Chain A
Amino acid sequence: MADASRIHPLAGRKVANPAVTLTPAEPAARLSLRARPDAVAALSKALGVKLPEMPKRSATSKSGGRAALWLGPDEWLVIDTAGGDPLADCAKVKALHSAVDISHRNTAILVEGKGAEATLSAGCPQDLSLTVFPVGACSRTILGKIEVVIWRTGETAFRVECWRSFSAYAFDFLEEAARDAPIAA
């Protein structure tokens, strides 16, 4: 039998300079969750996360190991980094919804440091300033030529989710962009 441990598409890559670090995120369980407003309460309860109903908002579980990111009026990205099984949790919910496992479709890059915002601003046209995009804010948007989900996990920390085969481009882009972060804030 094969070893069933997950291989990160960006395994071994790392960038660190005085302003910003880029690190491939640990493997996570992910769910694309689709539901109408009448199912939100039941799904929130099952997941242990109150599904946000406002644009660009995220919510996390009490333990912090699970988060739900608002991506659209009926769409959330659920990320579990604590070894949970959100798909199984949703399976218990009778209310109408669609839960699809995308744990391996996405991968993530952690962009951290005082130059994190500047690094992302090289390729993301959105306003990522702390006032407009505060801690917990998230958005499906673009980075250079690809689609990403940007989630601010701290004042100087972001998680960038992208599709697996675009992760090399995302990392390469951020690596280029990171060069400028120590030079101009």
Chain B
Amino acid sequence: MTAAFRTTAAGRLKGAKPVKISFDGASYAALEGDTLASALLANGVHLMGRSFKYHRPRGVLSAGAEEPNALVGIHRDAARKTPNVRATVQEVYDGLTAVSQNRWPSLAFDVGAVNDIASPMFSAGFYYKTFMWPKAAWKSVYEPTIRASAGLGVAPDKPDPDHYASRYAHCDVLVLGGGAAGLSAALAAAETGARVIIADEQPAVGGALRFETGSTIDSAAGWDWAQATAVKLAAMDNVRVLTRTTAFGYYAQNMVGLVERVSDHLADPGHDLPRERLWQVRAKRVIIATGAIERHMVFDGNDKPGVMLASAGRTYLNHFGVLVGKNVGVFTASDSAYAAAIDLKQAGASIAAIVDLRDNPAGPLIDQARALGIEILSGRTLVRASGNLRVASMTVRATSGGPERTIPVDALLMSAGWTPSVHLFSQSRGKVAFDSATRRFLPGDYAQDCVSVGACSGTDTLADTVKDAVAAGEKAAKAAGLAKTVGTKVKAETSESWAGGMVGAAPGAGPDTTGKAFVDFQNDVTAKDIRLAVREGMRSIEHVKRFTTNGMATDQGKTSNIHGLAIAAEALGKEMPEVGLTTFRAPYTPVTFGSLVNHSKGRLFDPTRRTPFHAQEEKLGAVFEDVGQWKRAWYYPRAGEDMHAAVNRECATVRKAAGIFDASTLGKIEVVGPDAAKFMELMYTNPWEKLESGRCRYGIMLREDGFIYDDGVVGRLAADRFHVTTTTGGAARVMNHMEDYLQTEFPHLDVWLTSISEQWAVIAVQGPKSRDIIAPLVEGIDMSDGAMPHMSVREGKICGVPTRLFRMSFTGERGFEINVPADYAAAVWDAVWAQGQKHGACAYGTEAMHVLRAEKGYIIVGQDTDGTVTPQDAGLDWAVGKKKTDFVGIRGLKRPDLVAKGRKQLVGLRTKDPKVVLEEGAQIVADPKQPIPMKMLGHVTSSYWSENCGRSIALGVVTGGFERMGQTLYVPMPDKVIEVEVVGQVFFDEKGERLHG
């Protein structure tokens, strides 16, 4: 069945496959190649949505990406529900299901339309003024209600099942727009051999040639030339032609973001196709050929369904073969609309009349219209369009006033002229300039290596457009380094011109009128609203825009900005450029989150780093915790154990027998060169020159301001080689910090840094049995206390593979850290584990590690320090070389406030009740009865139950803490106050005998 408004007299879809679509539950016949808008219009459906604020019935305004009205939901399945899709952009496929938005209970009868009647309440800025009282109601009543009743489509409520592809691309010349200008420029550039990418947002190239049927290029119909040129370009190895691809953002250094819609137009995209492909293109030169967007006329009722741009009416006819009406009125201030009237008349529609603001329009198109018998009402204005769910009549009078005449119509085409599409130019930080002769903004000063050609730079005729474009294409290729010039020739002819038009409200929609003459359809802003903004004191377009929301909808004011500016300028009695033009920002049209998030979801949201022992730990039942990007074994619960029980057992086992711990995530840096020790002297507070090869030292690194930045054990492997360890979290930044100083402050030193964090996997074996466990596996290292005392490092073999064996401890027990090359790690772990089993050892996780080190008062940088703690504050004065004359932070440490009394110092805290475990972060006060706000003395930094001590233990920073030993302080909590005693940092084996025992 053929749809009622489909004509055979025009259009390019003849012979296309018929498909079925549904809109709000009703089924309609469509043709492949239709947009949802053209398919509905073919069936006589003009009502496609309700407006944002007033819920007014709306149809299509345009036939393209600028569409502000016909926004619908596209529902593919339960998870694929895309809101706010422009019906003028969505291509049909068999089974397409679309629903209207912002209406209840139905599109034709919408309760929300009461807002239209009550519209005086909802004038511009109403929400700043109306809902002021009571203040508390804004959050609880007004805002939620306004948000629920205003607004557009509903966001999908299920995770996005689609995938999105990504591509970085590079080219000599990037052409944005595939109309006559873009194609000519691309061709000229491509024929020099330049690498060219040309992108167009439509399913096929052609731009305005889609509707401008009177154009001839290289002796072919314009549209046919465009398609042939695209085929020719696509066949060239140096050219990529991207259709359905929108350039949405123009960023620094000619980086342009494109989004290609790969499968939204397909009935069954299958599993493999991405929904969209994001292109991030870096171009040596960019040619902007984005054309122009037709402006509507601003008059009362210009938003009735059936009222649309002349170019839209012409596109629906000449491309889709759809008559937008059978008795069509036209309202214009330029010649363009005449071409639409002529095309429609010739296709069999009757033209009720052409209402032309101009007193004496003249030219070939006007002559042709007259010759076809079309009534031309020149020097007249259209004061009102009437109709309920569709336009039914237009009311006309002389521009100067006088009697009105009402003419029945079923569609109304309008044209106020063309606005050059300077969005991308403006996004490139180019400055637009006002051309006062034509009252439009054109590209002025360029900020990047780009050029605008064709209608977007104000060229009004096709012949000039292609001539300029060819020259621009050749010039861009040359600038990009291509020497060859081929002399591409493209010749175009047309009888049409895009010059002329008007800006602002039409006569009849002036300050003295009361009708709703829409400027911004999507945000429901009328000419009256703009004038109100000026009356309320807004002087700059930036203020007018924010007060009225003109141009702030998702269509970014493509049709409304210039009218809004003109009306504001008139009300202010100023010229348009004095009031200003808002800056265009990305995205040009809405971009899905999916394409921007792209691969970075699920397993690719962020890298998950696992140590070489991960599988072994999993096998032992480890529970893992996230430490930065790492998965670290947290604790190893056995049957029936909760975390508390597991950690208690692990802590006790380490001190009784031994524990096996994965320390691989610690950062490691190999510092190599004859000046290695000199460099270490400068980076750490400790002295290094005299450290013997084979020995280790605990080092503290400061920032320039004297505060602790990182810490770790450093082993000296040779006179010119150190094996430095850092905290897990500090690995990358410590490396950068050291490299930064080496390159900028100490470039005279002969030393190099290499990250070896992942070269060496590390198994810590800690506890009285540690040596017994390891010794049988080790070759070539004497592990006796005499030969290998605490804080020493040896190179040899373990399990037949190389090892750097450290004797060191973060538990206070005799301990070793076995470094092995990572690919061998799992095998070594298995061997160590088997040995450990013989000696009653267990695996322990990061939680037990934390408890064990706290029992010994060993700090964790970032937990017990917070970037405001000096070595002195932390009780680590001993680690600062007293004789040293220089290291990073040495001057910071001498700052008066860092040596003053009363600094917060790290101390131990013993709760009076040994069973009470303090909360980390809890505040500490001297007098819990003082009025709130209390004077805080510090806070708890580390707190645990210690099975080894049989009580709770805690560390905290306390003002003047070292002088408060034995004092009782208080930790106020919501339900009680906890008494604590200030004690030393060490809770277990205070003399440190077990390190050697």
Which of A74, A106, A129 interacts with B170 by CB under 8 Å? Answer: A129
Q: Count how many chain A residues have C-beta atoms less than 8 Å from C-beta atoms of the other chain.
A: 51
Contact B277 A184 (CB under 8 A): yes
A44 interfacial by beta-carbon distance below 8 Å: no
Contact B821 A144 (CB under 8 A): no
Which of B169, B673, B799, B823 interacts with A98 by CB under 8 Å? Answer: B673
Given contacts A105-B759, A165-B610, A165-B758, contact A6 B272 (CB under 8 A): no
Q: Say which one of A45-53, A54-62, A115-123, A153-161 lies at the interface with B.
A: A115-123
B822 interfacial by beta-carbon distance below 8 Å: yes
B878 interfacial by beta-carbon distance below 8 Å: no
Q: How far, in whole Å, are A62 and B672 apart by their CA atoms in the complex?
A: 30
Q: Count how many chain B residues have C-beta atoms less than 8 Å from C-beta atoms of the other chain.
A: 55
Contact A7 B673 (CB under 8 A): no
**Which residue in chain B gives the minimum CB-CB distance to A35?**
B752
Q: How far, in whole Å, are A34 and B388 apart by their CA atoms in the complex?
A: 79
Contact A9 B612 (CB under 8 A): yes
> How far, in Å, is A160 (CB) from chain B's closest CB?
14
In chain B, positions 262-289 with a C-beta closer than 8 Å to chain A are: 262, 272-274, 277, 280, 282
Q: How far, in whole Å, are A130 and B165 apart by their CA atoms in the complex?
A: 22
Contact B752 A184 (CB under 8 A): no
B674 interfacial by beta-carbon distance below 8 Å: yes
In chain A, positions 104-120 with a C-beta closer than 8 Å to chain B are: 104-106, 118
In chain A, positions 73-106 with a C-beta closer than 8 Å to chain B are: 74, 96, 98-106
Which of A5, A32, A96, A166 interacts with B673 by CB under 8 Å? Answer: A96
Which of A98, A126, A127, A165 interacts with B752 by CB under 8 Å? Answer: A98
Write out the residue numbers on chain A whose beta carbons fall within 8 Å of the beta carbon of B686. Answer: none
Q: Say which one of B202-210, B596-604, B695-703 lies at the interface with A.
A: B596-604
Write out the residue numbers on chain B whose beta carbons fall within 8 Å of the beta carbon of A100. Answer: 670, 672, 754, 756, 759
Which of A6, A101, A169, A179 interacts with B608 by CB under 8 Å? Answer: A169
In chain B, positions 735-787 with a C-beta closer than 8 Å to chain A are: 750-752, 754-760, 777
B433 interfacial by beta-carbon distance below 8 Å: no
Q: Which of A5, A96, A98, A146 has the most CB of B within 10 A?
A: A98
> How far, in Å, is B619 (CB) from chain A's closest CB?
15
Q: How far, in whole Å, are A4 and B608 apart by their CA atoms in the complex?
A: 27
Contact A2 B610 (CB under 8 A): no
A164 interfacial by beta-carbon distance below 8 Å: yes
> How far, in Å, is A61 (CB) from chain B's closest CB?
22
**Which residue in chain B gives the minimum CB-CB distance to A176?**
B599
Which of A146, A180, A184 interacts with B607 by CB under 8 Å? Answer: A146
Contact B600 A105 (CB under 8 A): no
Contact B169 A163 (CB under 8 A): no
Contact A145 B607 (CB under 8 A): yes
Q: How far, in whole Å, are A143 and B51 apart by their CA atoms in the complex?
A: 44
A150 interfacial by beta-carbon distance below 8 Å: no
B552 interfacial by beta-carbon distance below 8 Å: no
Contact A179 B163 (CB under 8 A): yes
B375 interfacial by beta-carbon distance below 8 Å: no
Contact A2 B673 (CB under 8 A): no
Q: How far, in whole Å, are A144 and B138 apart by their CA atoms in the complex?
A: 43
Write out the residue numbers on chain B whose beta carbons fall within 8 Å of the beta carbon of A182. Answer: 272
A124 interfacial by beta-carbon distance below 8 Å: yes
Contact A123 B607 (CB under 8 A): no
Q: Say which one of B63-71, B95-103, B824-832 lies at the interface with A.
A: B824-832
Write out the residue numbers on chain B whose beta carbons fall within 8 Å of the beta carbon of A165. Answer: 607, 609-611, 630, 758
Contact B824 A6 (CB under 8 A): yes
> How far, in Å, is A126 (CB) from chain B's closest CB?
8
B17 interfacial by beta-carbon distance below 8 Å: no
Contact A122 B167 (CB under 8 A): yes
Chain B interface residues toward A at CB < 8 A:
163, 165-170, 195, 262, 272-274, 277, 280, 282, 599-600, 603-604, 606-612, 630, 670, 672-674, 750-752, 754-760, 777, 799-801, 821-828, 830-831
> Could you write out 11 A-B pairs with CB less than 8 Å apart?
A2-B827, A2-B828, A3-B827, A6-B824, A98-B752, A104-B759, A104-B821, A121-B168, A125-B280, A126-B168, A144-B600
Q: A7-B825, A104-B760, A118-B167 are in contact. List 13 more A-B contacts (CB 8 A).
A: A2-B827, A6-B824, A103-B823, A104-B822, A121-B169, A122-B165, A122-B167, A166-B607, A172-B603, A176-B163, A180-B165, A183-B273, A184-B167
Chain A interface residues toward B at CB < 8 A:
1-9, 27, 32, 34, 74, 96, 98-106, 118, 121-127, 129, 132, 144-146, 163-166, 168-169, 172-173, 176-177, 179-180, 182-184
